């Protein structure tokens, strides 16, 4: 494995221990960003990218930074856990996101980054100096590198079908014994002869009771 590129971003406040940020590229294929160059008692050293360690609130179980006095979510008082400790007995507040696992790799990163840092400090004295830290990498993905992914939109649920019938303006006809039969037409429409007076009387209410 070889470090093929190092980019340095110097901090504006030179009085702070944090001197610069750094990104390193391995084998022109893998980039690690947000390394920090810190001024120590024996000179600058490289700190790997890290995150703050967290602990859970006893009341709402939300995550909070170690040594937080109150929960950021519910406002409850935290227990004040100190968290894990390093070999020197000091409380660990940060955990490395990426770091070397052997001394050989660590020394390679340390020596190369410190060398580039000192070179960047010299270049920063020029009037036309511009940091390359924010420049895009050649291997950054662009929109054309991805296939078009079509997300099907959820179709609205089909509404139940209701067959509407024309409203009836007049009164409804009386119910017939057989619903399947059409309403009977009047005698004048059927062309039948009118009944006699006797037949009309017999066909009335109570017909046939007094005919004996």
* Alpha-carbon torsion angle 88, 91, 50, 65, nearest 10: 180
Taken in order 63, 69, 72, 77, the sign of the CA dihedral is positive
pTM above 0.75, yes or no: no
The CB-side HSE value for 71 (13 A sphere, CA atoms) comes to 16
Any alpha helices (H) in the chain, and if so which ranges? 103-123, 187-190, 197-202
Distance CA 20, CA 37 (A): 5
* pLDDT at residue 106 tops 80: yes
Segment 67-84, tens digit of pLDDT: 788 888 888 888 765 566
- CATH number for the 1-49+97-140 domain, one of 3.30.930.10, 3.40.50.620, 3.30.1120.40, 3.40.50.720? 3.30.1120.40
Domains of the chain: which residue ranges? 1-49+97-140, 51-95
Cα 26 from chain centroid? 32
- Which pair of structure tokens corresponds to residue 4? 């093929």
Number of Cβ within a 10 Å radius of residue 147: 6
Instruction: pLDDT band for 110, please (50, 70, 90 cuts).
Output: very high
The CB-side HSE value for 150 (13 A sphere, CA atoms) comes to 1
Read off the pLDDT of each residue in 197-208 and give the average, rounded to a whole number. Answer: 53
Sequence-distant (≥ 6) Cβ neighbours of residue 43 within 8 angstroms: 114
Cα 68 from chain centroid? 28
Tell me which residue of 132, 137, 113 sits closest to 48, measured CA to CA.
113
- Mean pLDDT across the chain, nearest whole number? 73
């Amino acid at each position: 494995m070889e470090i093929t590129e190092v980019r340095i971003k110097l901090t504006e406040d030179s009085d702070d221990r944090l001197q610069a940020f750094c990104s390193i590229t391995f084998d022109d294929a893998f980039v690690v960003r947000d390394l920090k160059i810190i001024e120590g008692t024996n000179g600058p050293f490289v700190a790997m990218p890290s995150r703050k360690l967290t602990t859970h609130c006893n009341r709402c179980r939300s995550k909070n930074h170690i040594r937080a006095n109150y929960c950021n979510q519910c406002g409850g008082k935290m227990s004040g856990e100190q968290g894990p400790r390093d070999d020197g007995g000091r409380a660990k507040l940060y955990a490395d996101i990426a770091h070397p696992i052997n001394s050989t790799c660590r020394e390679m990163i340390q020596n190369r980054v410190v060398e580039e840092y000192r070179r960047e400090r010299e270049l920063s004295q020029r009037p036309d100096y511009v940091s390359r830290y924010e420049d895009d990498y050649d291997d950054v993905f662009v929109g054309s590198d991805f296939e078009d992914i079509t997300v099907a939109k959820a179709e609205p649920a089909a509404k139940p079908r209701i067959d509407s019938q024309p409203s009836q303006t007049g009164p409804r006809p009386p119910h017939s014994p057989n619903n399947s039969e059409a309403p009977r037409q009047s005698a004048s429409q059927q062309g039948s002869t009118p009944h006699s007076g006797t037949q009309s009387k017999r066909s009335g209410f109570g017909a046939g009771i007094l005919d004996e």
